[in-house]
Chains A and B, each alone.
Chain A
Amino acid sequence: MKRYLGPAAAALLVIALFSGPGYLERGSLNDIWNVSLYVVLASAWNIMGGMAGQVSFGYSAFLGMGAYATVLLCLHGWNAYATIPVGMAVAAVFAVIVGLPTFRLRGPYFTIATIGVSEAVRVFAQGVEWTGGSSGRRMPIQYGDFLHKWLPDVPRGQAIFLENYYAMLILAVVVVGTVWYIQRSRFGLALAAIKQDIDAAEALGVSATWFKVRAHALSAALMAIAGSLFAINFQYIAPNSVFAFNMSLQIVLMPVIGGVGTLVGPIIGGVVFGYLQIKLLTIQALRDSNLLIYGMLLIVVMLFEPRGVLGLIDRVVKFVGRGLPKARKEARHAA
């Protein structure tokens, strides 16, 4: 019975979200879109950072690549959604090229390298003409007509909004589903082994570099899809928004605070992050202090519960559980 609780809850949640437009107003739907985006970003990063243990501070590069692929191709007449595979491919290839030499770097060295790469990409995008330089690029006005064709009665603005809404929801489900699948697969086992002891993993036949490359490429491709949807939704991108270091930071913060390496952790992180952002924006005095709060959260988490919110919950559950006589008896049997 207990085993089905999680999947059942998840299914209910998905159904509730998908039927959202039926009973929620536009503001809430918008919030859900934002939160879903964060969940996608956090979960995609988690594949590499949490499951494989390679902390990269440079993921905005992949987000930006997806975004720019979409915008630039759309400006040449492509259908917006058709550009998504291209963005994925670009990001994946870049991930492989950058990953191969840098994976042999251990711990903080790798992290620094990712910062270097990401910033180099950003500066490059700012300097080059075809990306629009630092002023960025606008999406062409004709796009996102997908839903509108199928539901001609719905006013155009609303159709576009719904389209974006469902696109992001579907992506979130896909990404979370991918992580769920990986966790149960041989691939996930290899990643966990690599994360916990890379030398021992190699000594048992795991080709660490090969797995890291694949995790990195997958993670990058998913991030690029988010970038494409980002471009489609906001219609305007610039190096300082999509390639920003701040973006990379936020992408790291969410899964770390929520619970790195787990399925639910990034989701918690994304939700917390998303709602904090929304709520803070409404209080004038605290408008710009979201990063301050995240910084403090990060310090607290690293000092007291590196496993994040999820780890905290786990600790509370264990503590409470120890008090109950039945749980104590079970614990004695297991020991």
Chain B
Amino acid sequence: MVGFLSATLNGILVAGLYTMMSFGLALIYGVMKLVNLAHAGFIMLGAYATFALYSQFGLDPFLTGIITGPLFFFIGMGLHKYVVRRLPESGNTPAVQSLLLLFGVWLVLQNLGYLIWGGDTRSILTSYTMKSVSLGPILIAMPQLMVFLVTSVTGIALNYVLAKTYLGKAIRAVTQNKGAAQLVGINAPRIQMIAFGLGIALAAMAGGLTSTIYPFTPDFGRSFLLKAFVVTVLGGMESFWGVAFGAGLIALLEQYSAMYNFYPNVFTDAVTFTLLVVALVVMPKGLPSVGNQLVKFVQPWFEKTFGRKAVAGS
């Protein structure tokens, strides 16, 4: 029982990290239907930036987000304005071109990383890295807890921005229908640039957070990128809670399979990647859409039996 609770709790904590890591990807995809392969590169840069800030200036890694966030926001916007927007918009294969372009950016970032920092593994060790908090019989690692707290705060802030501010509403509008958004006066290219910057900033901050838990090399982003893909595909690319839900699913799956040995640990990643492919094929719009379909399916029966709708407003 303790094992189950421990795994669940850890899963939730890790899910926070995965959400942070994936939301930037989901945001960029939602607003411009762009699969940002360079995401991994920025996770990596975020980790190194945090490391630099910590080792040079002694800044607590969990506070580095205050600096790395805005920094990478502007870097992201610059990248969008001077590189991504330059893409010739041509007919049938713009998606592939942008994919390859961002892939090129990732390669450059990764190998610049190797050039500057070399291939040594680094990690961040603070005074409390090794500490843990005990919740009854369960032990929670301190860094994990801190990461979860930071992610939650960021998540709440993001949610607020998306729901209540003009920027947030504009972002959601462009995500749903770019043409219509422009018709009502939203400057779509500018919103896209801002969203891109935001996505990059989130990636960098996620990288910073991850560096407190995992050791990192310039190759850092790659496995996280694939995990982020799975999370966004499962969670549906277009809502924060969806991404959080997908993150939770993956994190819990990892924790439970490690605890109960569904399959040998070496295969963990293989399972995740296979899940990605299955999810892409079976439910490209993510689990929320499956949920919606299910609701639509069940609704008539529910109404007949209970005389009211199962889910209001559907």
Residues of A bordering B, CB below 8 Å = 53, 55, 98, 101-102, 104-105, 107-109, 111-113, 115-117, 119-120, 123-124, 126-127, 195-197, 245, 249, 252, 256, 288-289, 291-292, 294-299, 301-303, 306
Q: Does A289 contact B111, Cβ atoms closer than 8 Å? A: yes
Bound-state CA distance A249–B37 (Å) is: 12
Q: Looking at the complex, which one of B92, B100, B229 makes contact with A256 (CB distance below 8 Å)? A: B100
Q: Which residues from 85 to 127 on chain B have a C-beta closer than 8 Å to any C-beta of chain A?
A: 86-88, 90, 92-93, 95-101, 103-112, 114-115
Q: Does A113 contact B267, Cβ atoms closer than 8 Å? A: no
1/0 per residue B2-13: CB within 8 Å of A?
Answer: 000000000000
Nearest CB of A to B247, in Å: 17
Q: Does A298 contact B104, Cβ atoms closer than 8 Å? A: yes
Chain A residues near B92 (CB, 8 Å)?
195-197
Q: Does A299 contact B273, Cβ atoms closer than 8 Å? A: no
Q: Does A115 contact B226, Cβ atoms closer than 8 Å? A: yes
Q: Does A105 contact B280, Cβ atoms closer than 8 Å? A: yes
Q: Does B276 contact A116, Cβ atoms closer than 8 Å? A: yes
CB nearest neighbor in B for A54: B96
Nearest CB of B to A242, in Å: 16
Bound-state CA distance A111–B36 (Å) is: 12
Q: Does B281 contact A101, Cβ atoms closer than 8 Å? A: yes
Bound-state CA distance A126–B264 (Å) is: 12
Interface of A is mostly: helix
CB nearest neighbor in A for B108: A295
Q: Does A113 contact B104, Cβ atoms closer than 8 Å? A: no
Q: Looking at the complex, which one of B105, B114, B276 makes contact with A112 (CB distance below 8 Å)? A: B276
CB nearest neighbor in A for B263: A127
Q: Does B104 contact A295, Cβ atoms closer than 8 Å? A: yes
Q: Looking at the complex, which one of A112, A115, A124, A299 makes contact with B83 (CB distance below 8 Å)? A: A299
Chain A residues near B100 (CB, 8 Å)?
55, 252, 256, 298, 302
Nearest CB of B to A56, in Å: 11
Q: Does A302 contact B107, Cβ atoms closer than 8 Å? A: no
Offer 18 A-B interface pairs, CB within 8 angstroms, sorted by A: A102-B277, A102-B281, A105-B284, A107-B93, A109-B280, A111-B96, A113-B276, A115-B229, A116-B273, A123-B270, A195-B92, A288-B114, A292-B108, A295-B107, A298-B104, A298-B107, A302-B104, A303-B83
Chain B residues near A113 (CB, 8 Å)?
276-277, 280-281
Bound-state CA distance A90–B154 (Å) is: 48
Q: Looking at the complex, which one of A102, A109, A303 makes contact with B87 (CB distance below 8 Å)? A: A303
Chain A residues near B106 (CB, 8 Å)?
295
Chain A residues near B264 (CB, 8 Å)?
127
Q: Does B269 contact A119, Cβ atoms closer than 8 Å? A: yes
Q: Does A127 contact B270, Cβ atoms closer than 8 Å? A: yes
Nearest CB of B to A269, in Å: 13
Q: Does A105 contact B95, Cβ atoms closer than 8 Å? A: no
Q: Does A112 contact B280, Cβ atoms closer than 8 Å? A: yes
Bound-state CA distance A290–B4 (Å) is: 47
Bound-state CA distance A291–B108 (Å) is: 7
Bound-state CA distance A18–B193 (Å) is: 54
Nearest CB of A to B277, in Å: 4
Q: Which residues from 250 to 300 on chain B have a C-beta closer than 8 Å to any C-beta of chain A?
A: 264, 266-267, 269-270, 273-274, 276-277, 280-281, 284
Q: Does B97 contact A289, Cβ atoms closer than 8 Å? A: no
Nearest CB of B to A128, in Å: 8
Most chain A CB atoms below 10 A, which of B83, B109, B270: B270
Given contacts A116-B280, A127-B270, A289-B115, 5 further A-B contacts (CB under 8 A): A102-B280, A288-B114, A292-B112, A296-B104, A303-B87
Most chain A CB atoms below 10 A, which of B93, B109, B114, B233: B93
Q: Does B226 contact A111, Cβ atoms closer than 8 Å? A: no
CB nearest neighbor in B for A105: B280
Chain A residues near B93 (CB, 8 Å)?
53, 107
Please name the 5 residue pairs, one residue from A and one from B, whose CB atoms are nearest each other, closest first: A295-B107, A298-B104, A127-B266, A292-B111, A295-B108
Q: Does B281 contact A112, Cβ atoms closer than 8 Å? A: no
CB nearest neighbor in B for A102: B281
CB nearest neighbor in A for B105: A299
Nearest CB of B to A280, in Å: 12
Most chain A CB atoms below 10 A, which of B99, B107, B114, B284: B107
Tell whether B222 is near chain A: CB-to-CB under 8 Å.
yes
Chain A residues near B244 (CB, 8 Å)?
none
Chain B residues near A124 (CB, 8 Å)?
267, 270
Q: Does B88 contact A306, Cβ atoms closer than 8 Å? A: yes
Check A291/B276 contact, CB under 8 A, given A123-B269, A256-B100.
Answer: no
Check A116/B274 contact, CB under 8 A, given A105-B284, A299-B104, A303-B86.
Answer: yes
Q: Does B277 contact A249, Cβ atoms closer than 8 Å? A: no
